[in-house]
A and B are shown apart, each in its own frame.
Chain A
Amino acid sequence: MSIEYAPREVWIRGTGDYREPVEGDTPPRLKTLVQESLGVPVRRIGRFIQLALIGAGRCAGSRSPGRDTAVYMSSARGDLETTLDVVETLFRYGMPPMPLSFVNTVSNAPCYYVARHFDLAGRSNFVCSRSFAFESVLDLALLDIESGYMDSALVGSVDIATSPVAYHRRRLQIGRDEPIAEGSHWLWLHAGECPEDAIGELVAAREFGDRDELIEWLSAQPLPIPDTCLAAGQFAAREDIAAVRQATGIERRFEPPKSPGYYDSQSGGTINAFLHHDRQRWLVHINGEIDGARCTATIVRRLDQSS
Chain B
Amino acid sequence: MRRAWFIGGGAHTALGTDLAAAVGALEKISEPERVPLQYGDTLDEIPYRLLAGRPLERLEERLYDVLAGVIERALDEAAISADERLRMGLFLGSSSADVSVSEARFRRELAESDDAIALIASNSIANLALHLRRRFGLRGPDYSFNTACTASANALVTASDMIARGRIENALVVGVELFNVVTAAGFQSLGLLAPGNMRPFDRDRDGLTPGEGCSALVLSARQRSSDDLYLRGSATLCDTYSMSTTNPDGSTVATVIERALERAGVSSAEIAAIKVHGTASLHSDEAEAAGMQAVFDPVPPIFALKPHLGHTLGACGLNELLLFRAAMGQGVLPGTPGIASADRSDSGLALNQHNCDIGPGHFMLNYFGFGGNNTSLIVSNVD
Q: Which residues of A contact B (CB under 8 A)?
A: 1-4, 71, 75-78, 80, 83-84, 86-88, 90-99, 102-109, 111-112, 115-116, 119-130, 136, 139-140, 143-144, 146-147, 149, 167, 170-172, 207, 209, 292-294
Contacts and interface: CB of A to CB of B under 8 A. Distances in A.
A1 B189 contact: no
A1 B264 contact: yes
B181 interface: yes
Interface stretch (B22-30, B238-246, B300-308): B238-246
Q: Chain B CB within 10 Å — which of A88, A126, A292 has the most?
A: A126
A106 B123 contact: no
Given A93-B40, A96-B188, A147-B164, 6 more contacts: A84-B118, A86-B182, A108-B371, A125-B147, A125-B154, A170-B120
A125 to B, nearest CB: 6
Q: Chain A CB within 10 Å — which of B1, B125, B145, B230 has the most?
A: B125
Contacts of A207: 141
Contacts of B239: 121
B372 A1 contact: no
Do most interface residues of chain B lie in helix, strand or loop, or is the interface mixed? Answer: mixed
B240 A1 contact: no
B148 A108 contact: yes
Given A80-B119, A103-B370, A107-B146, A91 B240 contact: no
A1 B3 contact: yes
A149 B118 CA distance: 39
Q: Chain B CB within 10 Å — which of A4, A71, A87 has the most?
A: A87
B117 A171 contact: yes
B139 interface: yes
Q: Chain B CB within 10 Å — which of A71, A103, A294 has the most?
A: A103
B336 interface: no
Contacts of A97: 182, 185-186, 189
Interface residues of B, number: 71
Interface stretch (B10-18, B49-57, B102-110, B219-227): B102-110
Q: Chain A CB within 10 Å — which of B181, B238, B265 has the most?
A: B238
A108 B243 CA distance: 10
Contacts, number: 207
A83 B119 contact: yes
A200 B111 CA distance: 55
Contacts of B182: 83, 86-87, 90, 97, 102, 105
Nearest to A143: B161
B117 A94 contact: no
A104 B243 contact: yes
Contact of B1 (A3, A78, A83): A3
Given A96-B188, A107-B147, A293-B139, A121 B369 contact: no
A99 B189 contact: yes
A111 B369 CA distance: 13
Given A106-B95, A123-B237, A91 B39 contact: yes
Contacts of B237: 121-124
A1 B232 contact: yes
